[in-house]
A = this chain, B = another copy of it.
């Protein structure tokens, strides 16, 4: 069987005759008069017999075009050269944005044999899928790890921080981190702390559907992220993802205030206790500021790398009957810190307070957040809260449990292990993780009818 970039049978023959290769712009004229123009994509679906050809349209979507025996394929233009990689002479001479690939769906493809999604092997393929990206400016692409985000650890945050720091000191206008979505907000929060004084934006981007699926959001998101990295006036660690399920705009969320709130929707990432910083309209290349900017783009700023994270911090969720022995185990095992996802205003069962007190007496910081996610911890309202304060528990204001975890890990690794200093720092806003001003519209609106 003839196989030509994944295509078989008469489609393979037609493509070969036209001299068309993946990345080339072609036109497909069908006998019924319909005509499609787009970038030819390679076919992954080796074992399918469907006579379909995959085109990337100018709106970024891949579509499958049915090809018949009478269909004509016309080569319109050959593909553009792909941008160079970091370190090439050219890259150091003109403005560039660096894309660091870490793995995840945005850099993944479907294994059509098993039906599962696996990471893409070649980081350059990211750009092959989306050649339009290089129109925005010069892009460096580098793969620094190849991990699903659920496998990323605090020591990976250290590596990622170092690599981002290198790109920044090498002169990048901004750094895009292509990352799996599962644990992306944890990584974005880690970079918010680990690079102190950001001259340019650090932009995390991911995808809820893999790049070679027709409904993929990879292109839309990546394009929006690259735009943000090049043009945004702010210099924070942010997440750029679909703002709605349609392709209208992308939201720029402060990494420390963002959370993946849906298992599969494109607009899974949402702000918690904060507004988005900006909205990005990729078709008009507009970036509209809608929220607070805490750090401005300023290339003269000197970035400082403080990228050690303590990997012996635990998150413990409070639930009815939470067993004291779990807290005791963490203390016995000399964990470095504990973040509690308490109930309501920041509570746990009164039966647990002694074990938390013991943790504090062992110099283990215990930080209280709320599993409500929205709103603010307040340990002064109820007697349980006041007992927790007396036991030495540190209230984390309106911080997400995930952000409190990252921040505590960072403080213990990069700043101090002194309990009084940890207490002080956990309650001090460092990178926008505490928002003192909540307005009513920060709480999302549920449809009740």
Query: Is A82's CB within 8 Å of the partner chain B?
Result: no
Q: How far is the CB of A117 from chain B (nearest CB, A)?
A: 5
Query: Is A5's CB within 8 Å of the partner chain B?
Result: no
8 A Cβ contacts from A316-370 to B: 316-321, 323, 325-326, 329-330, 333, 341-351, 370
On whether the beta carbons of B323 and A443 are closer than 8 Å, the reply is no
Query: Is A126's CB within 8 Å of the partner chain B?
Result: no
Report the Cα distance A376→B262, complex, angstroms. 8
**Segment at the B interface, from A85-93, A167-175, A179-187, A218-226:** A179-187
Query: Is A312's CB within 8 Å of the partner chain B?
Result: yes
Query: Is A201's CB within 8 Å of the partner chain B?
Result: no
Copies of this subunit: 2
Query: Is A373's CB within 8 Å of the partner chain B?
Result: yes
Tier of interface size on chain A: 35 or more
Known A375-B263, A446-B271: A315·B320 in contact at CB below 8 Å: no
On whether the beta carbons of B150 and A318 are closer than 8 Å, the reply is yes
Known A116-B383, A314-B326: A151·B186 in contact at CB below 8 Å: no
**Segment at the B interface, from A47-55, A152-160, A418-426:** A152-160
Contact of A260 among B151, B153, B343 (CB under 8 A): B343
Kindly supply a per-residue 1/0 record for chain A positions 166-205, scoring 1 wherever the CB is within 8 Å of any chain B CB and 0 otherwise. 0000000000000001110011000000000000000000
On whether the beta carbons of B117 and A264 are closer than 8 Å, the reply is no
Q: How far is the CB of A346 from chain B (nearest CB, A)?
A: 7
Q: Which chain B residue lies CB-closest to A444?
A: B444
On whether the beta carbons of A182 and B344 are closer than 8 Å, the reply is yes
Report the Cα distance A319→B186, complex, angstroms. 8
Query: Is A305's CB within 8 Å of the partner chain B?
Result: no
Q: How far is the CB of A430 from chain B (nearest CB, A)?
A: 19
Q: Which chain B residue lies CB-closest to A157?
A: B320
Query: Is A402's CB within 8 Å of the partner chain B?
Result: yes
Known A333-B325, A446-B270: A260·B405 in contact at CB below 8 Å: no
Q: Which chain B residue lies CB-closest to A154?
A: B321
Q: How far is the CB of A270 from chain B (nearest CB, A)?
A: 5
On whether the beta carbons of A345 and B264 are closer than 8 Å, the reply is yes
Query: Is A57's CB within 8 Å of the partner chain B?
Result: no
Known A270-B446, A323-B312, A448-B243: A378·B264 in contact at CB below 8 Å: yes
8 A Cβ contacts from A381-411 to B: 381-384, 386, 401-402, 405, 409
On whether the beta carbons of A117 and B381 are closer than 8 Å, the reply is yes
On whether the beta carbons of B117 and A150 are closer than 8 Å, the reply is no
Report the Cα distance A188→B116, complex, angstroms. 38
* 18 chain-A/chain-B pairs, Cβ below 8 angstroms: A116-B383, A117-B381, A118-B383, A148-B382, A149-B343, A183-B319, A245-B440, A260-B344, A260-B371, A263-B344, A263-B370, A263-B374, A264-B345, A264-B375, A276-B448, A315-B319, A329-B329, A445-B445
Interface residues of A (CB under 8 A from B): 115-118, 148-157, 181-183, 186-187, 243, 245, 251, 260-265, 267-268, 270-271, 275-276, 279, 290, 311-321, 323, 325-326, 329-330, 333, 341-351, 370-378, 380-384, 386, 401-402, 405, 409, 440-449
